[in-house]
Amino acid sequence: MNSGTNELITVVSGLPRSGTSMLMQMLDAASYPCLTDGVRKADADNPRGYFEYEKVKRLRRDWAWMPEAKGKAVKIIAQLIPFLPPQFSYQVVFMERNISEVLASQREMLQRQGKSGGNLSDAQLHSIFERQVLEVKQMLAQRNIPTLDVAYSDALQRPVEIAENIREFISKNLDVCAMAAVIDPNLHRQQCEQ
């Protein structure tokens, strides 16, 4: 594995609606280069923006864009992590959020968009998401991809500490205060009892 920082791809991952956009915003606030295209605009569900790169959605069948991500952070949802091509070097910052909160956030987003969810119950989706996260973590471990797990709730409660953990993991001189300032507990709209 090439550990040169200009070759390393920093993958920000997690389930959809888990806080990955917030992680990207933190890195962006610290002037860490982020691979985004601005196609998906900020909206009521993500008022500060999504920080996505459209080509990521085709990772399963097309990764010709991956060299563009070298030396940058790119958001890739957990379900696409198994399709990371092995010829690149990665480090992963993985956002973990209570799955019930993820489901509530997804449900609210779909309602706001006037869409209905699939035919699966919350219990079925919870089980699927739990399994997907476990499989992704196992794959990352098998491929020896360095991974930092970040709990969404910890980021909200201890933003400076979490920003420092990310800075240490990425091994760059990032502005921890700028990263921590991005975190807005008021955007934690779907909360579950722990």
Give the pLDDT band of residue 100 (cuts 50, 70, 90): confident
Q: Tokens 């998401």 appear where? A: 129
> Mind listing the pLDDT tens digit for each residue in 123-171?
888 899 999 999 999 999 999 999 999 999 999 999 999 999 999 999 8
**Helix %, strand %, coil % of the chain (to 5):** 45, 10, 40
User: What backbone torsions phi and psi does residue 60 show, to the nearest 5 degrees?
Assistant: -55, -40
Q: What is the dihedral of CA 2, 80, 162, 104, to 10 degrees?
A: 180
More confident residue, 175 or 2: 175
User: Which pLDDT score is estimated for 194?
Assistant: 45
- Greater model confidence, 114 or 39: 39
CA–CA gap between residue 180 and residue 150 (Å, rounded): 13
pLDDT of residue 189: 41
Integer Cα distance of 77 and 143 in angstroms: 18
CA distance linking residue 19 with residue 184, whole number of Å: 11
Share of the chain above pLDDT 90, in %: 66
pLDDT interval class at 192 (50, 70, 90): very low
Which tens digit of pLDDT belongs to each residue from 19-70?
999 999 999 999 999 999 988 787 666 667 789 999 999 999 999 999 999 9
Euclidean distance between CA atoms 57 and 83, whole angstroms:
11
Measured from the Cβ of residue 160, the count of other Cβ atoms closer than 10 Å reads 13
Helical ranges in the chain per DSSP H: 20-29, 99-112, 122-142, 152-157, 159-170, 176-182
pTM of the model: 0.88
Give the per-residue pLDDT at 1. Answer: 42
Pick the CATH number of 9-184 from 2.40.50.140, 3.90.1570.30, 3.40.50.1220, 3.40.50.300: 3.40.50.300
Write down the pLDDT at residue 188. 44
Rounded CA-CA distance 78/102 in Å is: 13
d(CA 25, CA 34): 9
Higher pLDDT, 79 or 122: 79
Range scoring the smallest mean pLDDT among 13-17, 26-30, 68-72, 111-115: 111-115
Instruction: Check residue 112 and give its pLDDT.
Output: 63
Q: Read off φ and ψ for residue 98, nearest 5 degrees.
A: -50, 125
Q: Residue 88: how many CB atoms within 10 A of its CB? A: 17
